[in-house]
Structure formats: structure tokens, C-alpha cells
Chain A
Amino acid sequence: MRHLLSTEDLSRSNAIRILDTAEEMAAVGEREVKKLPTLRGRTVVNLFFEDSTRTRISFEAAAKRLSADVINFAAKGSSVSKGESLKDTAQTLSAMGADAVVIRHWASGAPHRLAATDWIDAAVINAGDGTHEHPTQALLDAFTMRRHWSKLAGTPSAGADLTGMRVAIAGDVLHSRVARSNVWLLRTLGAEVTLVAPPTLLPIGVEKWPCSVSYDLDETLARGVDAMMMLRVQGERMNASFFPTTREYSRRWGFDDNRLRALDSLGLKDTIIMHPGPMNRGLEISSAAADSPRSTVLAQVRNGVSIRMAALYLLLSGDTREPAHQANSTHSTPAEHTSALVTKESH
């Protein structure tokens, strides 16, 4: 493996490999000493051009549990805020010997740029780019769903996928990197996905995505859902005519107490409620739903560390880098740099 940039072209075998590795990492997290020596002497840089304390500390914990050295580079208050370019920042980190760069950026595609150029020769992990993708979030969501789905089936998680699982994702799909990464990964793992949103918050072109689309949350629930994922509504959408008022949004597309009760009346006793956080309680999700036994919000956070350990482990340990890529990737073709998780087998 070379980079983890997106789930769009993450193969099923690589996705399962990450999920299975994360299961092993989760076992480490349950030991008294939660640390492996695997990445001792390796340097992981958390390069954050956008504030995200949750994602950063999750990656930091993951890297530290693998004994890597961690450098946190927040763009705010650094040279980046003084106008330094992504290229110069990347070259600086390269000169300091970064082995992996975990990048969070407000611009869609910024991790692809790092991976496709010769600015830095390090493994690149996308920790969320603009409104494009957030692959480790989707992986931790899938990990959480797979545990639930396997438990219901009474079979082990390892090696399993999500065939037959009905997943609904509701909220601001248009601006959501979490929704995009989930749609691609869940498709790959065999789940049936329904996006639920006001038409204003769905992208033009969504009809080509491998999922169903609905404007009606109640109807979607009535058809049966095994996992209900609510997306955060960003504050800046609230005054841009995407919907009339937050109250109307909440009534039509929020997971409120009525819909929580509806799960019971619909006989959906095993349906879980997911949210990538941070939550707007009372807007897209009610407190009762967020705190109910169905909620996996905290399990998702916990599983996030395991997924990120697995990603770092698979990208940085062992002799899996391809010499051709390592030598010089200046003029890599689109086909090369769009392949999300390049492995020897896939070439």
C-alpha cells in the first residue's frame, strides 16, 4: 500500500484487509499496555489545514499506540497562515523526514495533489478533504456496522462484509465528505444505501451514485433500515436558502424522538443510530436518540483509533512500497494517482 486517499476505488479485498487489521488493533486497545513497537522510529505528521480536534487526536492516538513519533502541524498559527504554499509545506516536511502525512484540508483533492506530485515522498492519508472524501471515517463506520451485523448473524467479523445490510444516510449530502466516502465503501462491501436529504442538499449527478435517494425520512424508515446515519448540518448552510428554517429541517429530516419511537413501532429492534460527530443535538439528532442504547456514537470514536492504527500499519510497515512509485512520481498518470490504495497485487 502506498496511500489512502479515497474509498471510491478502494477494492473490496483492501477494504476487508483494513477492517480485519483494525480488529487486531482493537484487541491491542483492550490490553493493559495499549502499545505496539511496530512503527518505532517512524515519523507521522498530522498536517491540518482545517480545525478538527477529534480527527487529529484520533490519528495521534493511533500513531502513538504504534510507537511512531508524531508531529502535529496545524496550519493556523503556522507559516501556512502567512501564505506558505502546500508545496513548500510538503517539501519542508519531506526534508524533515516524514514517513507518513495525515492531511486534513478544506480544499477537495489536496491529498491527491500531495500523492501525485514529487513534493513529498511519504505515505499520504486523507483525513478529510473539502467536500470530497473522508476515507478513515467511512472505514470506522463500516467497522462499526460490520461488528453489529456479524453479531446479529452470530458469525465472526473477520473477513466479513456488509452484504444485505440496509443503511440510510440522512442530511447534508451535498457538502459531506463522510457521505461520499460511505456511499463508495458501503457499495463495495455489499450494503444497500439510501441517501435521505432535502433536494437542495443533494448534488446534481447523485442519480449516478450506487445508492437510492429519498426526500422522505419516514418513508425510508418504514421500508426498513438496519443502520441510520445522521450527518451534521453545518452552521453556514443555515442562512443560504438550502432550507427555510432549522426547525423545518429538524421536523422533516432530523432524527427526533418521534422517529426514535417509530423504530420500535416498526419492529426495527436491531437498528443502530450513527453520527460521525460533532452532533447538533436538537437539530439533526435528538438527545434521546443520541443517548439511546441504539446509538453507536461513542463506539465509532473508539473504533476510529483502531481503523487509523490499521491504516498507518498497512501503509508504513513491511516492504509493501512499490519501487517504481518510490523512485519518482513526478509524472504519474491519473490512473496511478487515483488508485486509492495501491498494492503490489493490484498492479
Chain B
Amino acid sequence: MASQQQDAGTGAYLIRGAAILGGAPEDLLIRDGIIAERGQNLPAGGATVIEAAGLVALPGMVDIHTHLREPGREDAETVETGTRAAALGGYTAVHAMANSTPVADTAGVVEQVLTLGRTAGWVDVRPVGAVTVGLAGEQLAELGAMADSRARVRVFSDDGICVHDPVLMRRALEYVKAFDGVVAQHAQEPRLTAGAQMNEGEVSAVLGLTGWPAVAEESIIARDVLLAQHVGSRLHVCHVSTAGSVEIIRWAKSRGVNVTAEVTPHHLWLTDELARSYDPVYKVNPPLRTDADVQALRAALADGTIDVVGTDHAPHPSEHKECEWAQAAMGMTGLETALSVVQHTMIETGLMGWADFARVTSTAPAAIGRLEDQGRPLDAGEPANVTLVDPAARWTVDPSKMATMGRNSPFAGRELPGKVVATFFKGHPTVLDGKLNTPYRWLPETTELPGTAAGSN
């Protein structure tokens, strides 16, 4: 696809004839970190030409929900391996969740993660700060210090654990208004889910696995949207998994509550029927639900009730999955399959087009995270964060060939549509010909803060 790449570092690139957001074919000239020109029959003028007929050009994908595991669980994933996976999956930015060891609950840890991300150079790594100290749900972490740090944290989450204390949740929602932050809630009522292993319903009844009832998610979302309305704050709901949650969020939005919601690729496709195998690769939190939930989530993503796709990429070492279901860790990898799964579930079903895809995987998540140079239109003068996709490609998922260290893909062995051909991060191709190229090299930090990067608006 790419022609000679004499200079993989700083050269200019002419993407020729790509369907911009799935529309008519146009050329994009990428130079000096920005889209220098957009139009028909642009002259190459020494730029490396990428013949992109049949490919779709999208704004670089932004993941609002990624677990990079570093610091602390480098046996599961590192910032380096996780962001390689992200680039290969078409991402140019990921939000690194706070449940590392130590927890990202201080300015020091979020700055460490930021630095690790910049050293890796594959995508923009945006640390998420913990809401409470040690994710313990007892006292607020220093949210302001994290917001003011070099990491400029705007998304705060105890993801993996619900901020279940209503007073603490109220205070967190109120407090982050001081720096335009958002609380991303993992909605799970803890008492209703003690020991929970899978969706509570017909399948759990047969399998004898402790149920995780939909009401445990829905009751927290209902409470939180009311709290957000009461204090006038911004709320984000992580990994919505039930039809009932969709109804509550739809109702809240109709009342003007400032709430955004996320769905994972796996909840758009897989159901609790897969648990019948007792294979823990299908164990995830929140759990896989029923087909009625899957259909409701797809409809909600299409109509905007759910704003974004977040991967909840959760790599685990194999020993945490090669065991009894009840012993196994919860979580699935997702960065390298998200685009294909969304194409399969949303685009090939006719529910969405590529412009909608760009909204839910780039524009909207960038807005939630307040990433000013991500999720931008593919127009002249905009930052060159671009993903090129071959929508006609078909490939079979083989976790052993992935860049993530996690082998826990629930899509292993499935044939998926759509392949990332190239990813441009700040004008630099991190992925070319569907393979990793070279990382972007950040300038010394004093000269380039997020939001003031070259070519930002």
C-alpha cells in the first residue's frame, strides 16, 4: 500500500484517493504534523505517496477506556506493548485507567504514566486519575493536583470498582467542576454483586454461577444521573451493558443531564450464552449479557444515547485465565479488534456509516477527555491524526500474533471485517501497510504540552 518509505521519521505523506469518512475519494497531504491540504489530484511534491483507493480515512481513534497495567503489572501489559496494540488498532490516543500498582491517585503516578507514553511514542497516552485514594472508596484523591500536573488529567475513575458511597460520588462530581473534569463511573452496586461471576439470568441459573444482575448496574446509573443533575456536573458512564441502563441514560439525556455513556465492542456482539463453555476468556466485568441487551446497546449507539465505544482493553497473563471460571480474572483485550468488531456489529448491519464511526470512536471520546488535538475533522490545518482502513479486508483473529501481551481475546478464531492499513499520529506513520512502523518522537516536554502540540487549533 505505501510506496517506498525512505524516511519513516519526518517525511510528508500524500494519501491518494481515500474515502474521507466513507465519502467521495479525496487526497490528504500530511506534512509537519498537520493535514496541509485536502483536495483532488494533489501533487505529491516529494511526499511519500500512499495509494488509498478503496480505503476509508478516519480521524485517529481515541479510546476512553484502556488498561495499560503499568506501573505494577508489567507481566500483563506495559505502556509500550499496549500502545503498540493501540496504534495497530487505529488509535492515536488512549486513556490509561487508574487501577495500576501503585494506583494512579497522585500527580506523581499520572506524570509517570504520561512520560512512559511519550517515551513509547505510539499514541497519546492520557492518564486517568483515581477518584479515591487507592480506589478504596473512602476519601478523594488529590484530583486537583492531578488536573494541574503535566498529565493534565480531566477524566477521573475508580474503574474496576464502583464509587458506591453516594456522598463521595456527589462530592467527586462537584469537585471536578473546578477544572472541567468528568467522573467516569464503573456502575456496579457492590452488595448486589458479591461474588458475581456472570450475568444473572437463564444461563447463570443452569450453570450454577453466581449472578451479576442488571439492576446492580442500572440502580447506580439512575442514582448517578440524578446526582449529576442535582449538582450540575459532568458524568460519564463506563461500559454500559444492559437494555435497562440504556433506557435510564436516554431518560436522563432527555432531561438535560450532562451525561455521556460508553459501550465496549464485546458488549455489542457477545452474549452470556458463551459462558456455557466455562472458558474464562468470556469472563468480563460487567458480564456479557443477553441478545436483547446487545440489540438495545447497538440501537443506543446508533441513535446517540450511547456516545462512545470504549474498549475496556484488559490484558491478563495466561495463568489468570487458564483456571476455573470462578478463579479467573475478569477482562478481555480489545484494542486490536475494536474497529473490526464495530464494523461488523454497527456498519455491516446498516446501523451506522463511517461518519458515525468517527463520531463514536474519535470525536466524542476526544471531547469527553478534553483532548483538543484529537477527534478533529480531516481538514487542512488540522492535526494529522488519521487512520486508514481497508473495509473490504477479512482476517481471522489470532491472539498469539497480537502486539498486546494479553492473549485473552474473546474473538479468537473468528473472522472479522476491516483492517487498519495505516495510522498517522501527529503526522507520523506509526502503522504502515498494516504493520508497526516507528514511534513518534516527542520533542522535549517543555516545548510541547498536550493541547499545544504542533498544528493544534
Residues in A neighbouring B325, C-beta threshold 8 A: 107-109, 113
The contact string, 1 if C-beta is below 8 Å from chain A, for chain B 293-331, is 000000000000000000000000001001111110000
A266 at the A/B interface (Cβ < 8 Å)? no
**Which residues of chain A come closer than 8 Å to B202, judged between CB atoms?**
205, 208
CB atoms of A205 and B201 under 8 A apart: yes
Given A109-B324, A110-B324, A113-B278, are A203 and B209 neighbors across the interface (CB < 8 Å)?
A: no
A109 touches B205 (CB 8 A): no
A2 within 8 A of B: no
Contact partner of A132 (CB less than 8 A), chosen from B208, B277, B323, is B208
**B324/A116 in contact, CB under 8 A:** no
Instruction: Name the distance in Å between B296's Cβ and chain A's nearest Cβ.
Output: 19
> Which of chain B's residues have a CB closer than 8 A to the CB of A180?
206, 208
Most chain A CB inside 10 Å of its own CB: which residue of B277, B325, B326 = B277
In A172-198, which residues have CB < 8 Å from any B CB? 177, 180
Is there a chain B Cβ closer than 8 Å to A24's Cβ?
no
B209 touches A108 (CB 8 A): yes
Indicate if B276 sits at the interface (CB-CB under 8 A).
Answer: yes
Do B322 and A85 touch (CB < 8 A)?
yes
Q: Answer whether residue A8 sits at the interface, using C-beta atoms and an 8 A cutoff.
A: yes
Q: Is A337 an interface residue (CB 8 A)?
A: yes
CB distance from A128 to the nearest CB of B (A): 11
A204 and B205 form a contact (CB under 8 A) = yes
Say whether A107 contacts B201, CB under 8 Å. no
Cβ-closest chain A residue relative to B200: A204
Contact (A116, B277) CB under 8 Å given A87-B323, A133-B208:
yes
| A105 is an interface residue with CB less than 8 A from chain B | yes
Q: Interface code A85-125, partner B: CB below 8 Å = 1, 0 otherwise?
A: 11100000000000000000111111011001100000000
Q: Which of A87, A107, A129, A337 contacts B277 (CB 8 A)?
A: A337
A113:B324 contact, CB within 8 angstroms = yes
A residues 254-278 touching B (CB-CB < 8 Å): none
Q: Which residues of B contact A238 (CB under 8 A)?
A: none
B51 within 8 A of partner (CB): no
Q: Are B324 and A86 in contact (CB under 8 A)?
A: yes
User: Digit string of B268-288 for contact with A (CB within 8 Å is 1, else 0)?
Assistant: 000000101111000000000
Chain B residues, CB < 8 A from A117: 322
Decide: B208 and A131 in contact? CB cutoff 8 A.
yes
B345 at the interface (CB under 8 A from A): no
Picked from B203, B211, B279, B322, the residue with its CB within 8 Å of the CB of A87 is: B322
A338 interfacial by beta-carbon distance below 8 Å: yes
A106 to B278, CA, bound (A): 14
Given contact pairs A108-B208, A180-B208, A338 touches B276 in the complex (Cβ within 8 A):
yes
* A293 interface residue (CB < 8 Å to B): no
Q: A130-B208, A132-B207 are in contact. Are A116 and B327 (CB under 8 A)?
A: no
Question: Considering the chains assembled together, what is the distance between the CA atoms of A150 and B277 in angstroms?
Answer: 37
Contact yes or no, B277 A177, CB < 8 A = no
Contacts of A116 in B (CB 8 A): 277-279
B229 within 8 A of A: no
Identify which of A105, A205, A338 contacts B205 (C-beta below 8 A): A205
Cβ of B213 under 8 Å from chain A: yes
Number of cross-chain contacts by CB at 8 Å? 82
Residues of A within 8 A of B207 (CB): 108-109, 132
- Whether A206 sits at the interface, judged by CB under 8 Å, is yes
Tell me if B278 and A85 are in contact (CB < 8 A): no
Interchain CA distance A105-B325 in the complex, whole Å? 12
B112 at the interface (CB under 8 A from A): no
> Hey, which chain B residues are within 8 Å of A8, CB to CB?
206
Shortest Cβ distance from residue A336 to the other chain B in the assembled complex, whole angstroms: 10
From B205, B210, B413, name the one whose CB has the most chain A CB atoms within 10 angstroms. B205
Question: For A87, A109, A131, A132, which residue has the most chain B Cβ atoms within 10 angstroms?
Answer: A109
Let me know if B219 is at the binding interface, CB within 8 A.
Answer: no
Rounded to whole angstroms, the CA-CA distance of A108 and B205 in the bound complex is 12
> Smallest Cβ distance from B363 to chain A, in angstroms?
38
Across the interface, which residues of A come within 8 angstroms of B208, CB to CB?
Answer: 108, 129-133, 177, 180
B327 touches A107 (CB 8 A): yes
Decide: B278 and A204 in contact? CB cutoff 8 A: no
> Which residues B351-394 have CB closer than 8 A to chain A?
none
A334 at the interface (CB under 8 A from B): yes
Residue B204 lies at the interface, judged by CB distance under 8 Å to chain A: yes
B residues less than 8 Å from A105 (CB atoms):
324
| A242 proximal to B (CB < 8 A) | no
Bound CA–CA A109/B327 (angstroms): 11
Residues of A within 8 A of B323 (CB): 85-87, 113
Contacting residues of chain B (186-218) with chain A, CB-CB under 8 angstroms: 197, 200-211, 213
In the bound complex, CA of A86 to CA of B210 (Å): 20
Specify which chain A residues have a CB less than 8 angstroms from the CB of B324 in the assembled complex.
86, 105, 107, 109-110, 113
Inter-chain contact A338/B277, CB cutoff 8 Å: yes
A195 → B minimal CB distance (Å): 12
Residue numbers in A under 8 Å from B200 (CB-CB): 204-205
Q: Are A209 and B322 in contact (CB under 8 A)?
A: no
B210 surroundings in chain A (CB, below 8 A): 131
Q: How far is the CA of A206 from the CA of B208 in the complex (A)?
A: 11
Interface residues of A in 73-87 (CB under 8 A from B): 85-87
Residue numbers in B under 8 Å from A177 (CB-CB) = 208
Verify A205–B203 contact, CB threshold 8 A.
yes
Residue pair B205, A209 in contact (C-beta under 8 Å): yes
Cβ–Cβ contact A203 & B326, under 8 A? no
User: Nearest residue in B to A5 (C-beta to C-beta)?
Assistant: B278
Note all chain B residues with C-beta closer than 8 A to A112.
277-278
Contact B205 A206 (CB under 8 A): yes
With a cutoff of 8 Å between Cβ atoms, the chain B residues found around residue A86 in the complex are 323-324, 327
User: For residue A175, which residue of chain B has the nearest CB?
Assistant: B208
Distance (Å) between the CB of B439 and the closest chain A CB?
A: 35
- Shortest A160–chain B CB gap in Å is 27
Q: CB within 8 Å of B: which residues of A?
A: 8, 85-87, 105-110, 112-113, 116-117, 129-133, 177, 180, 203-206, 208-209, 331, 334, 337-338
Q: A108-B278, A109-B325, A337-B277 are in contact. List 4 more A-B contacts (CB 8 A).
A: A86-B324, A177-B208, A180-B208, A203-B204
- By Cβ-Cβ distance, the 8 closest A-B pairs, closest first, are A109-B278, A205-B205, A132-B208, A131-B208, A203-B205, A107-B324, A205-B202, A108-B208
28 CB contacts below 8 A, A to B, read: A85-B322, A86-B324, A86-B327, A87-B322, A107-B324, A107-B326, A107-B327, A108-B207, A109-B325, A113-B323, A113-B325, A129-B208, A130-B208, A132-B208, A177-B208, A203-B204, A203-B211, A204-B200, A204-B201, A204-B204, A204-B205, A204-B213, A205-B201, A208-B202, A209-B205, A331-B413, A334-B274, A338-B276
